[in-house]
Copies of this chain bind each other. A is one copy, B any other.
Amino acid sequence: MEPPQLTATETSLILLVGVFNQYASGDSDKKTLSKDEFGKLVKEEFPLIFQGKDAADIMKRLDKNKDNLIDINEFMHMISDLVGKSYKMMCDLEPKK
């Protein structure tokens, strides 16, 4: 049986989950990102988007329950923010009519 064909959009979603999983698996707690794991993810996966930003600062804002860990929901808030910011950037780049 042929595996289902994913669209580029579905693939993007699965990729984002895969990135979280990949970096969260660095230590025994595979369901959250530690400070080091999060710093590595930001540096390696978002070098352009987070250029010059401090991962620890970003983590502080994201870590809603203040457990010094980032879970999938907190990670998703970051993705939401980033898409919102990228959208705004794209709108600003559009020639004014």
A interface residues, Cβ below 8 angstroms from B: 4-17, 19-21, 31, 44-49, 72-73, 76-77, 79-80, 82-84, 86-87, 90-91
Cβ–Cβ contact B12 & A12, under 8 A: yes
User: Is B8 within 8 A of A15, CB to CB?
Assistant: yes
A87 to B31, CA, bound (A): 10
A4 to chain B: which residues have CB within 8 Å? 48
B9 touches A45 (CB 8 A): yes
The A contact surface, by secondary structure, is helix
Which residue of chain B lies nearest to A44 when distances are taken between CB atoms in the complex? Answer: B7
Option from B6, B49, B80 in Cβ contact (under 8 Å) with A76: B80
- Whole-angstrom distance between the Cβ of A10 and the nearest chain B Cβ: 6
